[in-house]
Chain A
Amino acid sequence: MASDDVWILGIKMTKFGKHPDKDVIDLAAEATMAALADGGVTMKDVQIMGFGNLMGLTAGQSLQKQVGQTGIPVYNVSNACATGATALRVAYMAIKAGEVDCGLAVGVEKLAGAGLLAGGSRGADKDTWTPSGRLGAVAPIDGRIGTETMPGVFAQIGMEYGHKYGGTSFELFAKISEKNHAHSTLNPLAAYSKRFTLEQIMGDIMISYPNTRPMCSANCDGAAAAVLVSDAKLKTLSKEQQRRAVKVSASILTTDPWEEACQVLPNVNTLTRNAAKQAYEKAGIGPEDLDLVELHDCFATAELVHYDNLMLCEQGGAADFFNSGATWRDGKTPVNVSGGLESKGHPIAATGIANVWEIAHQLRGEAGDRQIEGAKVGLAHVIGLGSACGIHVLEKSGL
């Protein structure tokens, strides 16, 4: 242990799925109280809270009223699908800066039944065409000038990769989805844990070619929370707490640097690659060292490009890498053994903490039927359009 290390002491996710009987705060409170209990601490120990609820706009102060009002600062964060990772990084940075020795991060969303999600320009046409906004558009552009729907945007991102490097097809993207749904059958907390055949996936309702319905992330309800502590704080705790603590070897957040085409189709590649490079350098760990990866498969077409962006394969080699079987749970670099966003579900602000929970759960050796044997190092990745990319590299305690 180095003196400035930051550790995950306690972490939990709720079951993802439909929770009609619970409101946003019920879910957040369930994850928070479970994470505190998992770490063997109480709200009395917590000195800062990072909180995210992207779509519901609920504030962390509402959570405090249900789990403990101790007067600590709350940072309410909003960073698209990277909201949870951002909340986690708020707690991490405060500890790293030496301001506190224990922080809490919470992400929660209620999205069951939300339907098709899209970018900014929805709405009804007006009676008179009147140019407005920075494009001087007379009506919403979504669907008139390309698509802003998430399945459509990410479909194009996968197709662009295929155009650049070749090797992609509808079937290849569907096979990625087949893998994640197969993995989900071992995850009791996944929103959906049903295995699909390739034929079922390709024959399902087309949302935005080549993404059919099971190739899209599942809108659902859920929350996740993590308690982080400094190295000094951890040393004051029990041997068992130290043994189960998971080291945050890198916590990185990036946005997309200017590039010509990113003004038109979001470029999810460069900022992910930049974040990965920084994460590997900071952690002193290379992609070949990773025992498992949870990456942002918001759509099957997205998972493919992130194999490349996270440098799990050679540049341009993502299709071959997948076809080699490397990313199945018995492969060289298991990816999304939780089932991923396509089956575990994607309650937006919870996702960037829930994927860290999956890695931590595996590194602690507590993943039961889906345990990756001997897992010591893992990486969790999220990306929110706009864009923001969060990467956390995690290591098992040496104890």
Chain B
Amino acid sequence: MPDQIPFVDYLVLGDQPHLVANECTSCGAHFFDRRNACASCFATEFKKVDVPTEGEVRAFTIVSMAAPGIPVPFVSATIDCQGTSVRANVINVDATPDAITLGMKVRLATYVVGSDAAGVDAIGFGFEPAA
């Protein structure tokens, strides 16, 4: 029995956790979810590619009102990982407007989201300041 499971299937755990995207073999578009055909060029062949673990914050918000069970405040952001856009929380940082800046350098980090009834930890990802 594994004692860890990635929160989403595009997060690869191990010594160097990273994200993988489905890359359209025809036009190179990246998707994190399963696709029937490419939304850009309609081709149907995809291959898995690693997404760079470093990037910069292109947009963020500090969420103060969220679904029940989600701790607030937290930082939600769009990260530009060298050409691939990633949606994630910014973690290991104060959730205040002074602590986050547009364009700040960040890197992928993992954390335990929680444990299920069998004691398996779900491992999530976020991005933390790279400085």
Contact = CB atoms under 8 A, between A and B. Distances in A.
B13 interface: no
B32 A138 contact: no
A145 B9 contact: no
A13 B7 CA distance: 46
A163 B64 contact: no
Contacts of B31: 263
Given A260-B85, A263-B85, A116 B65 contact: yes
Interface in B48-107: 58-67, 69-70, 73-74, 76-78, 83-89, 97, 102-103
Interface string A134-165: 11111111111111010110011101101100
A142 B64 contact: no
Given A136-B10, A261-B85, A143 B120 contact: no
B7 A139 contact: yes
Given A145-B124, A156-B78, A207-B64, A265 B116 contact: no
Contact of A264 (B7, B73, B87, B113): B87
A209 B89 contact: no
B52 to A, nearest CB: 14
Query: In which size bucket is the chain A interface?
Result: 35 or more
Contacts of B7: 137-139, 141, 144-145
B61 A208 contact: yes
Contact of A208 (B33, B39, B65, B67): B65
A206 interface: yes
B131 interface: no
A131 interface: yes
Contacts of B39: 258, 263
Contact of B58 (A116, A124, A145, A163): A163
Interface string A159-174: 1101100000010000
B86 A147 contact: no
Interface residues of B, number: 50
A1 B97 CA distance: 55
B89 A142 contact: no
B29 interface: yes
A232 interface: no
A155 B61 contact: yes
Contact of A159 (B102, B113, B114, B122): B102
Contacts of A143: 63, 66-67, 70, 74, 89
Given A118-B67, A137-B7, A159-B102, A264 B85 contact: yes
B109 interface: no
A240 to B, nearest CB: 50
A139 B122 contact: yes
A265 B66 contact: no
A379 B58 CA distance: 31
A132 to B, nearest CB: 10
A149 B39 CA distance: 24
B8 interface: yes
B60 A142 contact: no
Given A125-B114, A139-B7, A139-B113, A147 B61 contact: yes
A258 B24 CA distance: 13
30 contacts: A122-B67, A125-B116, A126-B116, A128-B118, A129-B116, A136-B8, A138-B8, A140-B67, A142-B67, A143-B63, A144-B70, A145-B124, A145-B125, A147-B63, A149-B66, A157-B59, A159-B61, A159-B102, A160-B78, A206-B73, A207-B64, A207-B65, A208-B63, A209-B61, A210-B61, A210-B97, A263-B39, A264-B32, A264-B78, A264-B86
User: What 4 A-B pairs come out closest when comparing CB atoms?
Assistant: A136-B9, A143-B70, A155-B61, A160-B59
